[in-house]
Structure 1
Amino acid sequence: MANVLVLLLPPSVLRKIICFLLFMSLADTQNTVVFQPSYVTANGPAVSALLLGNTSEMSLNLRIVSPSNTTGSIDSPSCEDEATHWTLTREQIDETAVRVHLRLDKSLRLCGDNDSDTDCCPKPLCVLETIRVSACVDGTQRASLLIQAKIHALLFPENMGNGNETAFPNNTYQSLGSCPCDLTFRACDVRCCCDKDCSNEDLKLFASNCLLGPFGGQVSLAPDYQCSVQSAENAPDWFPFLCVNSPPENNPFLGLFYRGDTIMPASGPSFQSSVLSAPVPISIYTQGSPIFRMDDQYFTIPQKVLGSCVNGAPVAFLKNFRVGCVTLLRSCPTESPLKTLPSDLSVTVKNVQGGDAVVSVTDEVVVDLSHFISNAVMFLSKDVRLVCENVTLALDYTFYWTGSGITNITLRRTVGTVTLNNTVELTTRYSAVFLNGDFMRETNSGNPGYQDGRPVIGGNMDTPDNDGGSIQRTSINLWKPEGDGSCSSAAKNTVLFGYNSTSGCLLPVSRHNVTQCNLLREAVTFLQAALIPATYVAKSGNPDALTTADWVNISFVTLNSSAAMEDTESSCSGIPSHQHIRVWSLATGAVDGSPQREIVALQVSYVLSSWSLVCGGGDVSPCLDPMESQLFPVTSSVTFTDNPVNTGPPKTRFQINFTEYDCDRNDVCWPELAFPITKYYTGEPYSQSLAKGLILVFFFIAASLLGTPWKQIRQAWSCAAL
């Protein structure tokens, strides 16, 4: 009937009643404080629960409750505190949540027979009680938590040893393996009734299920061949003539006899992190020894150890390194090494020569962060935009040394402003270079010839206001892909002498770029030209900047811009996608048996290709969306050609295959037997030497026919004919 009356009310009145009920429910919810969960069964000495709601002025009280003798119900709620064996602590998580911790302040050890310590459990069921935690405001309980604690005593072995010593008895006539099922040291093994670590309470749990045979008792079961085992009912036909009489103690499970003594167990391997010993200062720096600060601590720079970056890695004396560490940046850094101050980096280092060396810091601000930041890897939010200023991007140290000490240290700190609108990968670079002397010197690639694996030295003419000019060194590079492999994040690798190599990067090209082929060709040409900013290349590994004879012009093969480009709506031709560097070298001599090579020419050429968008395979978005891009390779390579010193006539196939007849590599030369009639004889014209040679051959044949051997042959033939 009540439901019918409500439905008969006007709609406007019904809406007001519903809004009033919702307002009262919301007001009551804001003042509600509850425990989650509100009832807990505890089997251990620690309990945790959450108190949710407005807990700003809330106090927590603890007391033990018990059922009433008359009604049997639990005592009425109360905010009075009571002394218990439980310790109550609270941890504020946020404004509307508090974590409540309860820990039993009582030993769970089972009391012994003659134990005078009262802090133990008289019975195996040590704790059986109900605890109430009350949340009160001004003496009024707002929420309560009931904890039913049912905790048993911990059973420890009766003969637990102390320390690391294990005492063995005199086992001359007693086996060390008398209980083979005792596998766990200082712990009771389940169903092992001979385990001395098992207490009486433990044995009661599995006394009826002990392991049988030698793995469950003091003595193994007697085998079938024992005379005491067989009986008249089941005795075989060979019994008792072939049975064995032996005491039951003689069994293969006795183990080895050992005269007992106290043994100190050797320390085994540990998987815990070892504690590093304090640094030991040294009095002299040697190659590889750590560098120390004035406070006798290691001088550290972030380095890579076993493939991972370590911020506190000590710097080794005379050990150059250059590393890059990748950090997933989600927020602005606040600590070293990404956030540093010049005062923190300007430390004092021992020079082991009775003085010190202070790190001199100079800052370099970069705007283009393409070499340090890769593309986003995780999307956060469109509204998230953080501007991180003065982020440390690179730390480049230069150590100047003389003898066994350090004379000066300079640091170039590279900083920049990083804008975060999503999570990015920040690549920071750290390097250390040791230079002998007190000033910066140019690093050579040989003395005088190039050494394999050293950088090829490039240069540009620097013409000052006066008449003279010098050549400033620069590098000749190849692509070095990093991060996602795109050309925007790629670095550069210096061309190393004698090492042929090929590398490249990926350039995203969209439909909008393809419609402007001239701009695309110019962009790729600019990328390739940035690899070789030099116009000269050094002939030798130690060129003189003021001597132009030590340098060779680099030959650039110009692109044919007058040729007709067959461009379409979705493709562009004539793209200089591949840049090839060809280096010609020549061995000009030797120093101490080592050949000295010079660069005689260097040519840079390009391979033109056509780029067209591929829209097959069901993916037509690159051809429809003008901003959808595809990746195209931009590559570079270098080839070294070594010209031989002696350019004589090529060897014949006979000289290559039959080296035993080669007069240049053998003491006995059979072809020289007819040397006067060969073309290599130059003492007189070839026609005359040939005629004289034929005359000699004629005389040799005539002498052979008219000589003694043929005369005897004719006489023997005449006698046979008669």
Structure 2
Amino acid sequence: MADVVDLLFLPSISHHVAWVLMLISLTQTQNIVVFQPSFLTATGPTVTALLLGNTSDISLNVRTVSASNTTGSVDSPSCVAEVTQWVLTREQVGKTAVLIQLKLDKSLHLCGENETDTECCPKPLCVLETLQVSACVGGTPQASLLIQAKIHALLMPDYAGSDNSTVISNQVYHPLGSCPCDLTLNTCDVRCCCDKDCSIEDLKLFVSHCFPGPFGGQVSPAPDYQCSVQSSENSPDWFPFLCVISPPKNNPYLGLFYQGDTITFKPGPSFQRPVFTPTVQITYSQGSPIFTLNEQYFTIPRKLLGQCVNSAPVAFLKNFKVKCATLLHSCPTESPLQTRQMDFRINLKNGEGGEVMVNVTDEVAFDLSPFISSTDAVASSDEMLVCENVTLALDYKFYWEGNGITRVKLTRTVGTITLNSSVWAFFLTVVLTTRYSAVFLNGEFMAEPNSGNPGYQVGYPVIAAIVDTSDNNTGSILRTSINIWKPVGDGLCPTAEKKPVLFGENSTSGCLLPVSQQNLTLCNFLRETVASLQTALIPATHVAKSGNPDPLVMSDWVNISFATLNSSTTMESTSLCYGIPSHQHIHIRSLITGLVDGVPQREIQALHFSYSLSTWALGCGGGDVSPCVDPAEPQLFPITSSVTFTDIPVNTGPPKTRFQINFTEYDCNRNDVCWPELAFPITKHYTGEPYSQSLAKGLILVFFFITASILGTPWRQIRQAWNLVAL
């Protein structure tokens, strides 16, 4: 379909360009001027048009005109300017062309009830008028442009955001917030009874179904054992001795959303200004930035977060290779497209107390097809703009040994680009694709990043490999990665990317696959397509046991076990397909094999790769029946992938008996009720202070309890009964 569109679109473009070129030739021959286009309809505050021809002595003016009620025609062109609410500007874009722009000098917001500003719009249809732009020479009109302006006011929300920053209270000293369920600004949230946006009528609808607990704004009241709650009238007998004194701010919800982490400021290198500090010995490790002699980050152009930046730090032992596309309208004059060789001769810290200079070599590219994806139309030699020594590629090679850099080589590729500087050059652009790369070589071998030394570190990629038996059956190992889905943009599988599996981090992700009724008639082909998409995530046969495996030692690698997919032979209808491997699961089992400097060292013991099958059928509910009516109308089906890490427990003692496993009544670690803690804090289960002190305080507490029992209500009742018996 795309090819058909291109074939239909190219003749229309060629016809339009030929017509425009013929119009320019005609205006130059007859020495006249014309507006292109000659009539416009404006729905926004900016209008743009072109004036073609001999524009050397042309003056422009704008005025408001009206149509005749009888003939319907507008006023004839005039060279008398009028005061309007439009600002006219002109820009010479060529020898025979002027770019004309009209901009509305008025605010488009709707007037309020008591607003006195004359610049606002009194009604939704803010501007409704006809403008005439006249091109004059010596007071005689040569051409005119009619503009029908019909512009509506901008409707702003009632609670438009302000530029004032919101002051958020420190959650360390506040339980949750005033109303945690208030999620929508200036709107009543259903079942949120503490939402101040809810009116009395709104609350009556759900007052009996409010969110309970602190998340609904109902912080639990103080318990009865608080000393501040009881009064002398209703206090029990034990109250004066056993009540608890605790401030109101000390509650179980205090700082529930507070992480408690503190960040200590450490002065670091600056990208712009030099830091005048004593020279610091820098030792490189994997992932650490490379520094120049003046304590600055060593930067080169790189793509970060999907965008190309001109200055990005280079990390030690981190290889990358990116491409950046740039639209060129004129010759570049600044870095990184226009550079000098001396700009790259920089002294770097080698990580071992010395320095190393970047050695630069220039290469000239005569074939620009790998760098230029589109060119200008053919123009005459006097309309060509030649851009010399444009930087097309920067390829760095860092040679390292141990924790230092031994030498750095840069290959800079330059070339000459030709641009079209004719009248219509601003409609045609050159797309320049530049390349930037950095590789770290240990001798002549490229550095391979590790994920630990020796055990895996949490958050680092899981290392996988493919056993290559094509090289004389030597069984060499080619490193690769295990991936899961990384949806970007529209979330569709054809445009989705992959992200590596990180050790110790469980994850689930997926993408959407468009499937139509025609696809469901070919179930076997659909199953194979989905299976190929899922299998492409794991292009490996082995996984590394440790974080720094040896590619020449097979004992450092573990075979990946794959679950087999059984092909379905069941008779299937034309509307659904069975056995689609829509979910892929990766199960990784790890084990702590020892300690290095007190840090546990984890190894991967096994990796299992399996599928979950599902049945796909078109859903035509909710009023959307187009996928079931149109056989080519697609519907989106999810394809997911997940990874789970399981720690194998280390057996550190003899197996437990049946009594130890089943009888947990007195096990404080496995039972909610712990009877040995009944005499807390007298027993040794209390570890808040020395046992001797807790025992002494406990005995004093028992003494006060006995005294309260004797002096309280029970003893008073006994004395009254004794006195009655004595009388």
Query: TM-score normalized by structure 1?
Result: 0.43
Query: TM-score normalized by structure 2?
Result: 0.43
